[in-house]
């Protein structure tokens, strides 16, 4: 069992707080993505997990073993976690085989056993024919595979990945996402995966922890963070969204700033009436025609339209102080720029989120 | 850490302390400063030193800047040949050049004087290399490469577009050169001036060879005299060394600020096109002028050294029967125990010093770059400190610190080894620092997540990756240590003679055939080591395949 329990973890650099007392549970065998913009604290979290940094408060437990507290840190070499680095960190002076064998040599595995396991690991990542090459002779994708093989051959309890695909070109990145997921499905290993790319997180992860400014905003499945975001940041960071600001009138009812219109929306925030919140809706869920179910109605004027082939994008002014509402409509639906129109916001797609 | 203290801190502290100590009673006093700076015969050398340094700086900049411009920015013929020739001046120790110029331009026996006498039938010598003027001439010759390499590096990075911008605004070619090109190169020119100035004020060899016979002194030769008198006045010498230390510290600080502030502004022409300026009918006249400095600093001196070393008796003439041959080489390598030992000592001490220096420097650099200990920046500062200490001043510090218990090193090889290692520690340290910074910390961390401890990661990952850098750092210390004169002269004893001190003694005794032979041998040894090392590294590269 190697679940990870992070409690009240804090890290401070000088006078900036990199992590604000975060809590996170990663279950055994789960792939957890830490997703967020740069500077959000995701890499700091990973470095703390790996044991390269000492927390200023809080603790990290793996299974029932405390590995990091402010007072003592189990060094990286005694955690049995493997880390895939953004730079791959393949040793240039060792061949592919020597790179992969290193962790087993450190563990004093018998020589025959090392050869057998290295061969198997290289075959898994389809590098068996390049075993005697030096890293400088490999492509980026191949180096990435060496890093995977090197990390997995020691059969770690936990695999940590730090933006592992960000140095690859777009095609290869897509391919490697599935490769990483396949690796997990074959081994069932617990993984923590740091990325700033939401598509990468959604393909590889069972759950996503969205981070911003040293805090975890939401931890949920890919489906949930997209469909049921709890904060304005999560809604905006995962896919495109419209956020209209307003005040809670009662549960599920928000009065929009500058319009005086009350809209009804899904509300799981538990915010009391009078609190400043935001209402989110995805562009493709905003309609120009009245739907069968109930919908909020807002008057506006079309400011811009662009034809994108598969769809038409509109930007609609609704009120001073509110951002333009973006609408993704079918290409056949045409509204003149400058025209007054009514937007329909289906109640089941409007969500109240905490303003951030 | 203790090693670092022994190498750097203890000598510098002793130097300061000694300068305030009464020789007899060991009590603190200002007497040393009083006796060092009140007698007029002790003030003249200080004036001479500054005169010399200014003159050398001006000549070096005045010659080095146009040379750099000609080689980097014009279509002057022979510019590809000129660069290695000028850099050959770089690797020639100036005290060797000084000796060569004694053979060339000593008033009575100098070859150039003889040629002129024979050609033009003049009866008095035209040149006299002895004295302040000759000394300035020789040091300036060997300082030109500093300005040359700084300025040409800047000019080569500067885009022609910067000049074109001026030309399109109606500025003529020479106006552009003077109002755009040169001002942009100004920081490099100033850096060249500062380094030449420092070199001139710190050097011991050329003034010792060229000025002492003319009964003129500069600060460094005066320091030497304090020691050659009996009893040696080490306390006064320590006090007398202080202005020297002050000047170097100040100038290097000034230079750092100059370079630090302007460098990035100047070198912003990345990716720009660089065209060479057509000199037209001035091509050949410029080429002839440009070859004069390397002719005077490299070709003529080596010719003189070779000619003198190949004659059994210099002065009998090359054509006198039985005079030409390898007599002195056989003598130096096989027959004479002093020279043979000196060669062995030089090799042993330099190798030991290079090893010590590189080990200490790499460890300190590792601690500093990886921020492993709290006081790491302070360690780095200490490792760089010898950079501002002239060799001769360092030697006095070593004498003050280690010619007494608890660590009595004077008279043993260890004082020379330690002095070399310390003097060139900054080279090894900055080399180590830059290669360590080039190694991504992830490479070490990867080993640690796979279960290797810090030591094992360093041994299996960091060290092998550092190997080439460490070897080059070792060479960077070994080569200057092989030809170190100004500290050696103070620290050697008859049992610990090295090549440079032997040359110094022979020159003192007027044994010029031996001087030139040892000088040529020293240069040969240096070249053999450099070539062998590059061969080794080259093979290493081929086997391991290159990695950027």
What is the nearest CA distance from B538 to chain A, expressed in angstroms? 15
In chain A, which residues have their Cβ closer than 8 Å to the Cβ of B464? 93
In chain B, which residues have their Cβ closer than 8 Å to the Cβ of A76? 445, 448-449
Give the pLDDT confidence score for residue A115 in this predicted structure.
94
Distance of alpha carbon B224 from alpha carbon B396, whole angstroms: 10
The shortest CB-CB distance from A103 to any of B445, B450, B461 is to B450
In chain A, which residues have their Cβ closer than 8 Å to the Cβ of B453? 75, 77
For A51-86, how does the pLDDT look when each residue is reduced to its tens digit (9 = 90+)? 989 999 999 999 889 999 999 999 888 888 999 988
State the residue for tokens 């590809």. B80
For A230-253, how does the pLDDT look when each residue is reduced to its tens digit (9 = 90+)? 999 999 898 889 999 999 999 889
In chain A, which residues have their Cβ closer than 8 Å to the Cβ of B465? 91-93
H or E element in which residue A12 lies: strand A4-13
Contact across the interface for B547 and A135, Cβ inside 8 Å: yes
Contact across the interface for B449 and A86, Cβ inside 8 Å: no
For B376-429, how does the pLDDT look when each residue is reduced to its tens digit (9 = 90+)? 778 888 888 888 888 888 888 888 888 777 777 887 888 899 999 999 998 898
Contact across the interface for A78 and B446, Cβ inside 8 Å: no
Structure tokens at A235: 């809604």
A307 pLDDT higher than 60: yes
Q: Using omega within 30 degrees of 0 as the cis cutoff, is the peptide bond preceding B111 cis?
A: no
In chain B, which residues have their Cβ closer than 8 Å to the Cβ of A154? 450-451
Within 10 A of B508 (CB to CB), how many other CB atoms are there? 13
Pairing of strands A253-256, A207-212: unpaired
- What CA–CA distances, in Å, run from A224 to A209, A354, B118? 11, 16, 102
In chain A, which residues have their Cβ closer than 8 Å to the Cβ of B466? none
Distance of alpha carbon A67 from alpha carbon A59, whole angstroms: 8
Strand order in the sheet with A31-35: A81-84, A158-162, A190-195, A31-35, A207-212, A215-220
A127 pLDDT higher than 90: no
A273 pLDDT higher than 60: yes
Contact A265, A351 (CB under 8 A): yes
Helices (H), chain A: 42-50, 96-106, 111-124, 140-152, 170-187, 198-204, 222-227, 232-237
For chain B, the helix, strand and coil percentages under 3-state DSSP, each to the nearest 5: 75, 0, 20
Contact across the interface for B546 and A136, Cβ inside 8 Å: yes
What is the nearest CA distance from A146 to chain B, expressed in angstroms? 12
A211 pLDDT higher than 50: yes
Q: Does B408 touch chain A (CB under 8 A)?
A: no
**A122-137: average pLDDT:** 88
Give the pLDDT confidence score for residue A254 in this predicted structure.
92
Contact across the interface for B547 and A76, Cβ inside 8 Å: no
Q: Does B438 touch chain A (CB under 8 A)?
A: no
Q: In the A/B pair of chains, how many CB contacts fall below 8 A? A: 76
Model confidence at A192, pLDDT cuts 50, 70, 90, reads: very high
Query: Is ipTM strictly over 0.90?
Result: no
Contact across the interface for A102 and B460, Cβ inside 8 Å: yes
**A162-171: average pLDDT:** 83
pTM of the model as a whole? 0.77
Contact B101, B301 (CB under 8 A): yes
Please enumerate in sequence order all residues whose Cβ is within 8 A of that of B434, keeping only pairs 6 or more positions apart, or say none: B469
Please enumerate in sequence order all residues whose Cβ is within 8 A of that of B388, keeping only pairs 6 or more positions apart, or say none: B245, B248, B249, B252
A11 pLDDT higher than 80: yes
Q: Which of A339, A45, A12 is nearest to A212 (CA)?
A: A45
In chain B, which residues have their Cβ closer than 8 Å to the Cβ of A85? 442, 445-446
Contact across the interface for A82 and B447, Cβ inside 8 Å: no
Contact across the interface for B451 and A81, Cβ inside 8 Å: no
What is the nearest CA distance from B436 to chain A, expressed in angstroms? 15
Q: Pick the residue of B451, B458, B466, B547 with the most A CBs within 10 A to test the interface with A by mutation.
A: B451
The shortest CB-CB distance from B450 to any of A82, A87, A88 is to A82
The residues in A 102-131 lying below 8 A from B, measured between CB atoms, are 102-103, 106-107
Please enumerate in sequence order all residues whose Cβ is within 8 A of that of B59, keeping only pairs 6 or more positions apart, or say none: B136, B140, B143, B144
Contact B103, B304 (CB under 8 A): yes
Contact B425, B8 (CB under 8 A): yes
DSSP letters for B441-475: HHHHHHHHHTT--HHHHIIIIIHHHHHHHHHHHHH
Contact across the interface for B450 and A102, Cβ inside 8 Å: yes
Helices (H), A153-275: 170-187, 198-204, 222-227, 232-237
Distance of alpha carbon A333 from alpha carbon A305, whole angstroms: 11
Model confidence at A301, pLDDT cuts 50, 70, 90, reads: very high
Q: Does A154 touch chain B (CB under 8 A)?
A: yes
Give the pLDDT confidence score for residue A215 in this predicted structure.
93
Apex CA B101: angle with CA B309 and CA B204, to 5°?
A: 105
By C-alpha distance, the chain A residue nearest B451 is: A77
Q: Using omega within 30 degrees of 0 as the cis cutoff, is the peptide bond preceding B231 cis?
A: yes
Q: Does B39 touch chain A (CB under 8 A)?
A: no
Q: Which of B430, B444, B280, B410 is nearest to B362 (CA)?
A: B430
State the residue for tokens 């003192």. B508
In chain A, which residues have their Cβ closer than 8 Å to the Cβ of B442? 85-89
Residues of chain B with pLDDT under 70: 1, 24, 159-160, 166-167, 170-173, 258-275, 318, 537-548
């Amino acid at each position: 069992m190697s679940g990870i329990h992070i409690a009240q973890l804090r890290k401070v650099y000088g006078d900036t707080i990199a992590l604000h007392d975060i809590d996170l549970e990663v279950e055994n065998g789960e792939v957890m993505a830490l997703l967020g913009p740069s500077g959000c604290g995701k890499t700091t979290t990973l470095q703390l997990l790996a044991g390269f940094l000492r927390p200023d408060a809080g603790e990290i437990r793996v299974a029932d073993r405390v590995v990091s507290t402010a007072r003592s840190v189990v060094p990286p070499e005694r955690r049995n976690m493997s880390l895939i680095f953004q730079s791959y960190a393949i040793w240039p002076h060792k061949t592919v085989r020597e790179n992969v064998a290193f962790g087993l040599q450190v563990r004093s595995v018998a020589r025959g056993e090392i050869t057998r396991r290295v061969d198997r690991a290289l075959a898994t990542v389809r590098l068996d024919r390049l075993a005697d090459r030096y890293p400088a002779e490999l492509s980026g994708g191949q180096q990435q595979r060496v890093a995977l093989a090197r990390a997995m051959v020691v059969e770690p309890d936990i695999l940590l990945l730090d933006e592992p695909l960000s140095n690859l070109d777009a095609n290869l990145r897509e391919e490697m996402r599935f490769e990483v997921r396949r690796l997990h499905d074959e081994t069932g290993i617990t993984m923590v995966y740091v990325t700033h790319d939401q598509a990468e997180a959604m393909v590889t992860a069972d759950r996503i922890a969205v981070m911003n400014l040293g805090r975890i905003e939401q931890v949920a499945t890919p489906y949930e963070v997209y469909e049921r975001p709890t904060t304005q940041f999560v809604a905006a960071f995962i896919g495109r969204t419209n956020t209209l600001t307003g005040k809670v009138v009662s549960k599920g009812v928000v009065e929009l700033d500058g319009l005086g219109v009350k809209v009804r929306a899904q509300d799981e925030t538990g915010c009391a009436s009078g609190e400043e919140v935001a209402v989110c809706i995805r562009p493709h869920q905003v309609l120009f025609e009245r739907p069968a179910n109930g919908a909020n109605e807002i008057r506006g004027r079309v400011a811009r339209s662009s034809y994108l082939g598969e769809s038409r994008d509109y930007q609609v002014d609704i009120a001073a102080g509110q951002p333009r509402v973006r609408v993704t409509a079918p290409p056949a639906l045409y509204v003149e720029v400058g025209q007054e129109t009514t937007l329909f916001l289906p109640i089941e797609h409007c969500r109240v989120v905490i303003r951030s | 850490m203790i090693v670092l203290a022994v190498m750097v801190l203890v000598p510098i502290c002793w130097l300061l302390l000694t300068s305030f100590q009464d020789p007899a009673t060991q009590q603190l006093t200002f007497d040393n400063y009083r006796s060092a700076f009140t007698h007029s015969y002790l003030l003249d050398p200080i004036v001479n030193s500054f005169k010399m340094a200014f003159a050398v700086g001006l000549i070096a900049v005045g010659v080095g800047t146009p040379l750099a411009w000609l080689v980097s920015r014009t279509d002057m013929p022979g510019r590809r040949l000129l660069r290695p020739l000028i850099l050959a001046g770089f690797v020639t120790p100036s005290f060797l050049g000084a000796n060569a110029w004694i053979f060339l331009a000593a008033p009575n026996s100098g070859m150039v004087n003889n040629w002129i006498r024979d050609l033009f039938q003049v009866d008095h010598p035209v040149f006299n290399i002895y004295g302040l003027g000759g000394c300035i001439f020789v040091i300036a010759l060997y300082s030109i490469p500093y300005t040359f390499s700084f300025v040409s590096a800047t000019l080569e990075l500067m885009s022609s577009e910067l000049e074109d911008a001026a030309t399109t605004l109606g500025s003529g070619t020479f106006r552009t050169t003077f109002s755009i090109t040169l001002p942009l190169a100004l920081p490099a020119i100033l850096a060249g001036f500062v380094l030449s100035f420092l070199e001139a004020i710190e050097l011991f060899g050329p003034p010792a060879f060229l000025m002492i016979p003319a009964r003129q002194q500069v600060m460094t030769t005066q320091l030497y005299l304090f020691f050659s008198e009996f009893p040696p006045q080490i306390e006064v010498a320590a006090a007398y060394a202080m202005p020297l230390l002050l000047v170097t510290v100040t100038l290097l600080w000034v230079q750092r600020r100059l370079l630090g502030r302007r460098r990035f502004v100047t070198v912003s022409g990345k990716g720009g096109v660089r065209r060479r300026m057509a000199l037209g009918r001035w091509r050949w006249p410029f080429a002839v002028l440009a070859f004069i400095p390397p002719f005077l600093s490299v070709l003529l001196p080596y010719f003189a050294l070779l000619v003198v070393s190949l004659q059994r008796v210099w002065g009998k003439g090359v054509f006198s029967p039985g005079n030409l041959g390898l007599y002195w080489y056989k003598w130096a390598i096989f027959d004479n125990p002093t020279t043979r030992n000196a060669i062995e000592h030089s090799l042993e001490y330099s190798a030991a010093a290079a090893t010590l220096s590189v080990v200490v420097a790499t460890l300190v650099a590792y601690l500093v770059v990886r921020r492993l200990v709290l006081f790491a920046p302070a360690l780095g500062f200490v490792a760089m400190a010898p950079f501002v200490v002239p060799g001769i001043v360092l030697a006095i510090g070593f004498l003050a610190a280690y010619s007494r218990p608890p660590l009595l090193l004077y008279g043993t090889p260890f004082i020379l080894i330690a002095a070399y290692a310390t003097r060139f520690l900054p080279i090894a340290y900055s080399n180590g620092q830059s290669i360590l910074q080039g190694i991504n910390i992830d490479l070490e961390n990867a080993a640690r997540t796979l279960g290797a401890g810090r030591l094992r990661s360093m041994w299996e990952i960091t060290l092998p990756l550092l190997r080439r850098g460490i070897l080059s750092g070792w060479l960077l210390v070994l080569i200057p240590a092989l030809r170190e004169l100004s500290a050696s002269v103070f620290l050697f004893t008859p049992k610990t003679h090295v090549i440079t001190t032997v040359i110094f003694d022979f020159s003192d005794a007027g044994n010029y055939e031996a001087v030139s032979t040892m000088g040529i041998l020293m240069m040969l040894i240096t070249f053999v080591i450099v070539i062998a090392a590059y061969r080794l590294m080259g093979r290493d590269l081929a086997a391991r395949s290159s990695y950027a």
